Amino acid sequence: QITLRESGPTLVKPTQTLTLTCTLSGFPVSSSGVGVGWIRQPPGKALEWLALIYWDDDERYSPSLKSRLTITKDTSKNRVVLTMTNMDPVDTATYFCARSQDVSGYFLPYFDSWGQGTLVTVSS
């Protein structure tokens, strides 16, 4: 069974750095064709794609947030970590991690499995 679970602080102060972890189960992050991405959703608002890392360490970032984001993977612990610097109240959102999986070399840039999300509030 494929599961993703987000973890991290529920409250951060403005200007602080947020570190979120996505722990994977049921598939290895190092498996060919696997990508793990982060998507956020402010309360009552739309989804916003943030970043994704592929099995081969290829990293992709939202152009508007690229300067603040870093995505890494830890193969030994089968998890993906997102850091976001200089947090602001507008960054208050539920943060989801999700899987993208190519099949038999066929490119499938879609998110077929999602974590339940973790709400991060930015407030002093």
Residue from the set 8, 16, 33, 60 that interacts with other proteins by CB under 8 A: 60
* Number of amino acids touching other proteins (CB under 8 A): 25
Of 6, 31, 19, the closest CA to residue 72 belongs to 19
State yes or no: residue 62 binds other proteins (CB under 8 A): yes
14 versus 62: smaller Cβ distance to other proteins: 62
State yes or no: residue 63 binds other proteins (CB under 8 A): yes
Q: How many CB atoms lie within 10 A of CB 55?
A: 18
State yes or no: residue 43 binds other proteins (CB under 8 A): no
Residues that bind other proteins (CB under 8 A): 37, 39, 45-49, 52, 60-64, 96, 98, 107-112, 114-117
